[in-house]
Amino acid sequence: MFKLVSRLAAWWPVTVLQPDPDQPGAFTEFGFEARFLIVGKAEMRGYAEERDQLAKKLLEAIEAMATADDKVAASDHVRDLETALETHDDGMFHRLITDWRGVVDEADQPIPFSAEALDMALDHERIRRALRVAYDAAISEGGARLGNSVTLPAAGP
C-alpha cells in the first residue's frame, strides 16, 4: 500500500569531489549522507520562479557589462546579483537539508548538523554542487525508496 504524506524526509548519499592534495590534477571522492526534506512541485514552484528571475537579471547584467559606460558600477551590479542568487540558494539549502551524518572535522571528529555548520559547508562550491546533485537524484524516478525515508510532522520553516 502506498502512503501519501504531506511531508517526507529521506537520507540520501552525497558524493563530493575535491582536489587530491597528494596528486596534482586528480580528484578524490568523499561521501556523507544528508537528510533531505522532499517537497512537492507547488512548494518548489515559488522558489524556482524567484531563482529564474534572479538568474535572468544576472545574465542581463553580464551582457550589459560589455557596453556599460561605467564598468565598475556594472561589475558591482553583477556581483550584487551573484550574491543575491547565492543567498537565495542558501535559503533553499537550509529549507531542504535537515540533518547529515558522516561529516567529520580535521581530527576525524563528527561535526553535528547545525545552520552554522551547513553555512560552512555551503561556502565550498564543490559541496554545493554535490548537494544539488544528491537532491535531484532523491526527487527523480527511483528516488527516495522504502526503507530510507521517514514521514516528518508538519513544521514551520
Domain ranges of the chain: 8-142
- pTM, full prediction: 0.78
Task: State the pLDDT at residue 5.
Answer: 80
Q: Which long-range contacts link 54-63 to residues 24+ away (Cβ below 8 Å)?
A: 54/81, 54/84, 54/85, 54/88, 55/85, 57/81, 58/82, 58/85
Cell numbers found for residue 6: 504531506
pLDDT tens sequence for the chain (157 residues): 888 887 789 999 999 999 999 999 999 999 999 999 998 888 888 888 999 999 999 999 999 988 989 989 989 999 999 999 999 999 999 999 999 999 999 999 999 999 999 999 999 999 999 999 999 999 886 544 444 444 433 333 3
